[in-house]
Structure 1
């Protein structure tokens, strides 16, 4: 006589349990992660302010302390758009002037770097042709390019854009070439099997596969561009955050110099975060 064994009946999850599992718990985990990240950020800034305060005391006030500097920074933010002449403008106007030059130079550099990077990654002949040129020009200091730009364009502002262009394109070019050059052979074989045209291969395989690498290159390039703008404007003068730093130093206002450094750092962080979000959006996992 055979005996039938019944399988155990699993208890059904209630709607409250399901809501907690799929809605509440992920939200709580996200909040906890954000709070933890904020705590680390706050801790880091507290250490920075503490070290800064100690150094200012050790230098007997020669270096302005955090409280004096933050007070000046607050005054700068209270009226950021004032315009009292060519050499006396609010910090927002200085910042927008610098960002305009950065995005023009960075944009032009990207328009050159991405096509050449695609050629280098897709074609061995082009890679051998351009690679030595890249390795020779890439390490050149941005300041070394300024006289060249000034000679060509006869304008300090345009020369500044030129040095941003010439120094920011290399990271994008190299990462684009790497992304295109590492397309798996299976992807190429599929394109051949289905008879893809050149344009279809570029739009359906080459660009989608290499896009994360291109965005990584753009992220590195925008950081270089923002780094270069300060040095370029110190040389060119006129208007911009770099000129503001140099002008503040000439006016013996170290509080404004340090305030400008803090603003430069914050803007650089925001630009990096922007491209970091783009990286995550177009990553392979998505």
Structure 2
């Protein structure tokens, strides 16, 4: 086996063993704190340390009892629907705005102060206002994701435009390209890697935001599921929810990373 591949397998396992050991120590120090063993049982089923037999959360993730009582798979799917709806709107709006900022100093001067002001605003600050405006859980969650995830797309798109060589722009002038031809044949081929980097960051923010948004808006979704488990004092399930959120976020980032690499001409040279 390749030594580098072996390191990639063994080293994370060592860190995992350390994490489990620290977790066990913490659970021994704090009465009632979920232990690694019992959390595994709550996830996949079996008998807990107290002798209680359980059917795990992940042993039947596809069940549907009623509209409000569904397995964790459907909770994640509902969250992903909201995430991608808000994310797609952010892409549709953010890429043209970023192109405009990168191509025009006047537009940059006009919009940059507002981008810098609104970019650091927490999604939780937007949520009450958007909930008042839309009075709908899905619309509120999607608009919150849009407002908080659009900034990396705008900023990275503008950065990509600014990295277009002046020589390429001079060629566009010589060939008398119209604005659309200039964008599609000169600017976008250079800016696309930056755009996808912004989209990758944006999707990560969107998945981060949805958990907090669903905790406050309610309904169905992984964020509300975690909050509901807290209200039910099911602390083991909270840890399971955290791990599921982390794994889904990891998969989304991995997919977007592969897509970004595919469109990155710099890695094909």
- TM-score (normalizing by structure 2): 0.91
For structure 1, which segment, 240-249 or 71-80, has the greater mean C-alpha deviation from structure 2 after superposition? 71-80
Secondary structure of 2:66's partner? coil
Tell me the number of residue pairs that the alignment of Structure 1 and Structure 2 aligns: 256
Alignment of 1:157-236 (within 5 A): 157-236=138-217
Q: TM-score, normalised by structure 1?
A: 0.86
Deviation string, structure 1 residues 117-141 (Cα, Å, up to 9, x no partner): 0000010011011111111111111
Unaligned regions of 5+ residues in structure 2, if any?
Answer: 45-55
Question: Residue 33 of structure 2: which of 59, 63, 81 is its match?
Answer: 63
Q: CA RMSD in A?
A: 1.3
Deviation at 1:53, TM superposition (A): 1.2
Corresponding position of 2:5? 34
1:178 and 1:95 mapped to 2: Cα distance? 33
In 1, Cα distance between the equivalents of 2:104 and 2:259? 28
Identify the match of residue 48 of structure 1 among 13, 19, 40.
19
Secondary structure of 2:185's aligned partner: helix
Q: How far does residue 195 in structure 1 lie from its aligned partner after superposition? A: 2.5
Deviates more, 1:119-128 or 1:41-50: 41-50
1:84 aligned counterpart, secondary structure = strand
CA offset digits 1:2-34 (Å, max 9, x no partner): xxxxxxxxxxxxxxxxxxxxxxxxxx7xx5433
Match of 1:142 among 113, 123, 132: 123
> Structure 1, unaligned stretches of length 5 or more?
1-27
* Conserved? CA contact 2:163–2:190, under 8 Å: no
Larger C-alpha radius of gyration, 1 or 2? Answer: 1
**Is the 1:80–1:93 Cα contact (8 Å) retained in structure 2?**
yes
Contact kept? 1:86, 1:238, Cα under 8 Å? no
Map residues 115-126 of structure 1 onto 2, 5 A cutoff: 115-126=96-107
